[in-house]
Structure 1
Amino acid sequence: GNVDSLSNRIANVRTWSYVSNKVNWVENQDYWIKRTKLLEDKLSDRLHEELTKSFIDKRANILARRLKQDMTFNTEITEDENVIIDKQFIGKLKGLKLELDLNVGTLDTDIKSLKKAARLSIGPELNKRIKQIIDTGLLEIKNDFKIYWRKFPIAKLLPGKDYLDPELSLIIDDIVEVLEQKKLQEYLEKWINRKISFVLKSLIDLRSLKESNSSIRALAYQLYENNGVLKREKVSDYLKKLGQDERKILRNMGVKFGRYHVFLFKLLKPESVSLRILLWKNYHQKFYNLKPPTFGLNFLENKDFKNKNFMLLCGFENFDKYFVRIDILERLFVQIINSNEGKKTEIKLIPEMLNLLGCSKDNFLKLIQKMNYKTSEKNNEFYFKYVPVKQKVKKSINNVQKPDNPFNVLKNISFK
């Protein structure tokens, strides 16, 4: 029934509920108490639905009538982004997107009225916001690949032709005219390109390098393709062809030639690492669960970092279960050279080395062994010396003795 009919029925049921709760007024009292309670609950729920529908119908009728009469709507946007049209709450404005107050009881006619009223009332406000975005540029990009304004997303990154050239998709209401959307799209594309060009300048410069020397171009291309970090052993052929003059050109562009890596040292700053990882994940559309190490750490002991390429992108080199920041690795190598003034074969472990990495003595010794150094202890002091890979292999081969070796046979003979 309608609201009046349901209200009357609820009143009658409550009378019966009163009677059933009186002692000795009815037989089988417990049964009637449960029965009247269940009936009252059902009627109350139905009344709530009818009241909601009645309110929605009223809201729709008011909006529809005013739209037909081309009347001006009194629109208010509260501090918490609630949109009030003619004293009726119609939804929330989140950034450049209007979320209408649609619930299970909303009618199609109501939706149409809401949208039309919103277009007339909220359209100018959204255009105003677009102008504010363009004029101020107060934007930020977060790890969910979205560009935010006032804590609300207004665009999302999509893969482009290159991981440094992402595309953009606006998060904007269709209330906004196409011309305004295009204006915002162009501005955001310029904004993200400027940000990439500024934060990752040394990497962008490699892409636009114009150099006649083919070896310089080849190494620059390899660095660009590998996100600014290369293992030295993989580009040894390129390095052999570079003289000091050629290296100087690349050094002036921020390239550092280390013992283990060739890399752009400016890309190891926290902001640069974060942006590169974000763009890398966006381009590949995977690896979302991979997180960079906490900024400020130089040494990590972790078996769980399975993706070595990702860790290299973060600026960490892998030695079995240990990871060391590549610039710290180069500084460690300089310390080792400086501490070996007399060109001794063995180098003494000093506290400065532990402080540089931020690791324990035990972990340092295990790490240095993974880097092809042999460790030893003398008078409670620890020493290490470099053992080339070829030498280690040769030594291990020489130590392998065949069971039929004649000297082994002589060794096992017992003379009495």
Structure 2
Amino acid sequence: MSRDRTVTAVLGPTNTGKTHYAIERMLAHRNGIMGFPLRLLAREVYDRVVEVRGPSVVALVTGEERIVPPRAAYWICTVEAMPDMAADFVAVDEIQLCADPDRGYVFTDRLLNTRGLHETLFLGADTMRERIRNLIPEARFIRRERMSKLSFAGVKKTSRMPPRSAVVGFSVDGVYAMAELLRRQKGGAAVVMGALSPRTRNAQVALYQNGDVDHLVATDAIGMGLNLDISHVAFAGTMKFDGRRFRHLQPNELAQIAGRAGRHTNDGTFGTTGEAEPLDPEVAEAIENHRFAPIRRLQWRNPRLEFGTVPALMTSLEQGPKHPDLQRAREADDLATLRALWAMPDMHDKVRQGPEVRLLWDVCQVPDFRKVAPAEHASLLARLHDFLHEGGTIPEDWLARQVARIDKTNGDIDAISKRLAFVRTWTYVAQRKGWLSDPEHWRGETRAVEDRLSDALHAALTQRFVDRRTSVLMRRLKQKEGLVADVNDKGEVSVEGHLVGRLDAFRFHLDPSASAEEAKTLRSAALAALQPHYNLASDKFYNAPDKEIDVTEQGGLMWGEYAVGKLTRGADALSPQVEVFVDDEAGADVAEKVKRRLSHWIDRRVAALFEPLIALRDDEALTGLARGVAYRIVENLGVLPRADVAQDVKSLEQEARALLRKHGVRFGQFTLFQPLLLKPAPTRLRLVLWSLAQGLDEFPEAPPPGLVTVPEVKDAPQGYYAMAGYRLAGQRAIRIDMLERLADMIRGQDTRGGFEANPDMLSITGLTLEQFADLMGGLGYKAERGERTKVKAAPVEEAKPADALDPEAPVVVEPAGESAEPVADATPPDAQPAAAGEPEEVPEPPSEVPPAAPEEAPQPPAETPEDPPAEVPGEMPEEAPGEMPKEATAEVGEAAEAAEDEIEVFYTFTWAPRPRGNQNRGPRREGQGKGDRPQGKGGKPRGKKPGGPKGGGKPQVHSARPPRKEKAIDPDNPFAALMALKDKN
């Protein structure tokens, strides 16, 4: 029987089950051989056959891998590695590669010369039908139809790439760039290239197949029978470098790759993406209908080689075919290497006979896995040939150094890929028969190194191109599995061991490092897993003590360090509403529980801090005008400028006033207020409630507690100072309770004739004399500045008590700067009795008449020098030894003269009413009286007026007694020299 009668060509497009049919046919025979175009595909089929028949009868033979059990019956090989042995069954896959410019001659040789004893199958595209019929007339043909529909989907953006898609590129850089883009936008992608080792390729495919990633980026290697669950194939380019030049892919080549979409009975689609040009409609239609121009010529190289001499071998390799369907293949890498080695000077002496020529040819067939440079590859093979020619085997110590040099798993993807390509060379060498003295050892050694590098490459690819967090969570969400979230004490949320964000009480915040593309997946996974935590947190919050909850100056409601809500405007200032910060995904029950807890808290907080005000509001005993004043006080949250209700207060009877005082209302000269509400906590909350009622976007801050005066706040909203418990006067604002104390002090002064500030006034305000003058100007007084000679201090034994101090230099309180410190002797509001130090009733100030001075206005106290001497000399001893130098005497005299001429600054304050705006920056209410001024005693002033100084306008010096005549210092006094030195310093 003719050998060609066993030939059957099983032709058709992709996804027709040709490979599966061939495996079934092989297993129907006692033994068989199958050849595949790729090592990866051979490994895939080997694993499938082992599952059926077991590893003891299945062999795997490739250029770099050889698994041959003793009882091997079924051989799975690459086409180049198919053994030259008889078998009942022989099959070659992807037979259309006979037309490939680089490897086509190998497939053509199998087509022409390889036969099974009982059955021979050639699997491939229908474009080979005519060539097979011409070359093998007795061959039978089986047409297999595609099991699913393949449709053109046009252009798709990478961001809109559907799940289970493969993006195909034709360069390593292009594949990496697309994988990086998919990682950012889709959570990651697996990478499949022909240069990968089977171990790396299988690990990457596993990422895709098990759903860790939904996208695959590959070279055209996936078009060679790799069966993956792909729904859509997108071309990132339509040009490739074929080893010689860049060219456009032919329609049948595009169809071979596009056909990977839609496996088994699932329909698939194809199209373009990225920078690829859209496919022509004619090309897309041809791919959909599987109609392509037939292959015209097959690549051929003479398989009958002459090994007599190297020139004879070259001649036989260059021989052309005789059949019109065949054409001589272009020069392959092995022939180019042979020419390079033969051109070396000493090679002619080494290779003369047939065995030597065959050895040289065997060495030339070592593939150039490294792809460094042809000359570099030729140099390496020359070294191998020298070893084999001279010693018969490759020295193990030399091979060990080569392997050890690349047995490193550190570095990036490129570095590991280069080492993996290098080790493939030594793996191939270890598979060659007779090249090593211990081939089994080196096969295992090189395999172990390749496995380590393969694992390292897989890890590097995964780390760079796969966001494990996003991919794992996407897979679990698709599988609708219950996700488990863990929230640590810092609020960090981890789902399935991956950090996804932070939980602040009842609001989830996504990890800021997540990209916009990752955000949707991470948030979905986190919220799906956080429901139990929301329920637990709401129960814990509902039972939390009140001290764990607080309100910020901007109206935010805090639970410890977590923001859980904010206050909103209510029906009135004392009844704010609550808006909670709870994710919608937490559920309505959680939100309602949080809102109920916050509402209870703020109600109790307002009731506790504003207890006097609420009691005033709810007192039904108040009627008539008293109730109206009480309403205004409540409306202003316990601090009401008296000018706003001046006429109403004048009209109040004593009984009505007593009812208001019962609730702690103080009728101050400038303000009606409840002293308990001036404490820091009520003040802070009052500003928040007032800001809510006013509808302010940004709430003003409360002044620091304990300060008597504070600098003016620029752009403060109208009414701010009253709500803060202060009154603006000049460039500073003074606390209203301390202002009333100051008014009590001023009330006893001659405000018409003029008075000076005494130390008590400066002390309670904590201001310098200049700052006090500005403050008084803001209260309606005119401050006149003057200078005068400073009065010397009296001798110690006749000095006044310590209360006679310089009014310009208060000794108790530091002068206030921009940030004033609390005044030591200023009693804070919370330490004062409700009516401490206030008269039973402040008389109403007359509209025009200024306050009068008492019958005898007190004179200013005796002046005290700013820098008194350390020891004031009295009567000097008579018997002081020594004699003072004349120079010292002169210096002492000059110092005394300078002391006599020392000048001090003072201010005289007189009542000078003038029209001025409301101190709280608010508009005057209708019917509001004029602003108040300091209250004095009515009637005509009595006694002498402390008018201006006599004697040509010179300042008048007041003293407790007539000044003493200074006694001249005895020059012989031993203290004179000390005084002179002190004055000089």
TM (norm. structure 1) is 0.72
User: Does the Cα contact within 8 Å between 1:347 and 1:385 map onto a contact in 2?
Assistant: yes
Q: Distance in 1 between matches of 2:652 and 2:690?
A: 30
Identify the match of residue 518 of structure 2 among 100, 106, 113. Answer: 106
User: Does the Cα contact within 8 Å between 1:83 and 1:92 map onto a contact in 2?
Assistant: yes
Q: Deviations over 1:79-121 (max 9, x none)?
A: 22223344343432211123355643338677555543x1xxx
Bigger shift: residues 230-239 or 285-294: 285-294
Map residues 377-392 of structure 1 onto 2, 5 A cutoff. 381=860, 387=911, 389=913
Q: CA deviation at 1:240?
A: 2.3
User: Does the Cα contact within 8 Å between 1:219 and 1:235 map onto a contact in 2?
Assistant: yes
Match of 1:193 in 2: 603
Give the partner amino acid of 1:368: M
- Aligned with 2:518: secondary structure? coil
Give the partner amino acid of 1:245: E
The 3 A distance-change label for structure 1 pair 313 and 260 is same
User: Does the Cα contact within 8 Å between 2:751 and 2:911 map onto a contact in 1?
Assistant: no
User: Does the Cα contact within 8 Å between 2:700 and 2:716 map onto a contact in 1?
Assistant: no
Give the partner amino acid of 1:57: S
Q: Distance in 2 between matches of 1:336 and 1:243?
A: 26
Q: Distance in 1 between matches of 2:532 and 2:686?
A: 37
Match of 2:346 in 1: none
- Aligned with 1:165: secondary structure? coil
Identify the match of residue 771 of structure 2 among 363, 367, 371. Answer: 363
User: Does the Cα contact within 8 Å between 1:57 and 1:110 map onto a contact in 2?
Assistant: no
Q: Distance in 2 between matches of 1:311 and 1:183?
A: 37
Match of 1:402 in 2: none
Bigger shift: residues 154-163 or 98-107: 98-107
Q: CA deviation at 1:310?
A: 0.8
Q: Distance in 2 between matches of 1:185 and 1:178?
A: 10
Match of 2:641 in 1: 231
User: Does the Cα contact within 8 Å between 2:485 and 2:494 map onto a contact in 1?
Assistant: yes
Map residues 21-170 of structure 1 onto 2, 5 A cutoff. 50-52=465-467, 56-65=470-479, 67=481, 74-100=484-510, 103-106=515-518, 112-116=524-528, 118=529, 122-137=530-545, 138-170=548-580
Q: Distance in 2 between matches of 1:3 and 1:81?
A: 33
User: Does the Cα contact within 8 Å between 1:354 and 1:360 map onto a contact in 2?
Assistant: yes
Bigger shift: residues 173-182 or 275-284: 173-182
User: Does the Cα contact within 8 Å between 1:90 and 1:114 map onto a contact in 2?
Assistant: yes
Q: Distance in 1 between matches of 2:471 and 2:909?
A: 86
Q: CA deviation at 1:347?
A: 4.6
Match of 1:248 in 2: 658
Give the partner amino acid of 1:51: V
Q: CA deviation at 1:244?
A: 2.4
User: Does the Cα contact within 8 Å between 1:91 and 1:98 map onto a contact in 2?
Assistant: yes
Q: Distance in 1 between matches of 2:743 and 2:709?
A: 15
Q: Distance in 2 between matches of 1:7 and 1:51?
A: 20
- Aligned with 1:210: secondary structure? coil
Q: Distance in 1 between matches of 2:745 and 2:371?
A: 90
The 3 A distance-change label for structure 1 pair 345 and 211 is farther
The 3 A distance-change label for structure 1 pair 6 and 174 is farther
The 3 A distance-change label for structure 1 pair 17 and 357 is farther
CA RMSD of aligned residues (A): 3.8
Segments of 5+ residues of structure 2 without an aligned counterpart are 1-174, 176-188, 197-368, 377-413, 415-456, 791-859, 861-905, 915-985
Give the partner amino acid of 2:192: S
Q: Deviations over 1:199-219 (max 9, x none)?
A: 122232333232352111010
Match of 1:406 in 2: none
Match of 1:259 in 2: 669
Q: CA deviation at 1:251?
A: 1.3
Q: CA deviation at 1:59?
A: 2.6
Is 1:207 aligned to residue 731 of structure 2? no
Q: Distance in 2 between matches of 1:16 and 1:126?
A: 57
- Aligned with 2:700: secondary structure? coil
Match of 2:703 in 1: 293
Give the partner amino acid of 2:567: L
User: Does the Cα contact within 8 Å between 2:557 and 2:565 map onto a contact in 1?
Assistant: yes
Give the partner amino acid of 1:209: D
Segments of 5+ residues of structure 1 without an aligned counterpart are 10-14, 23-39, 391-416
Map residues 343-362 of structure 1 onto 2, 5 A cutoff. 347-362=755-770
Q: CA deviation at 1:224?
A: 1.7
Rg: which structure is higher? 2
Map residues 269-280 of structure 1 onto 2, 5 A cutoff. 269-280=679-690
User: Does the Cα contact within 8 Å between 2:565 and 2:580 map onto a contact in 1?
Assistant: yes
Give the partner amino acid of 1:387: W
Give the partner amino acid of 1:4: V
Bigger shift: residues 271-280 or 106-115: 106-115
- Aligned with 1:4: secondary structure? strand
Give the partner amino acid of 2:474: A
- Aligned with 1:169: secondary structure? strand
User: Does the Cα contact within 8 Å between 2:495 and 2:526 map onto a contact in 1?
Assistant: no
- Aligned with 1:211: secondary structure? coil
Match of 2:393 in 1: none
Bigger shift: residues 227-236 or 81-90: 81-90
Aligned residues: 356
Match of 1:409 in 2: none
Bigger shift: residues 364-373 or 153-162: 364-373
Q: Distance in 2 between matches of 1:61 and 1:260?
A: 72
TM (norm. structure 2) is 0.33
The 3 A distance-change label for structure 1 pair 159 and 18 is farther
Q: Distance in 1 between matches of 2:713 and 2:486?
A: 56
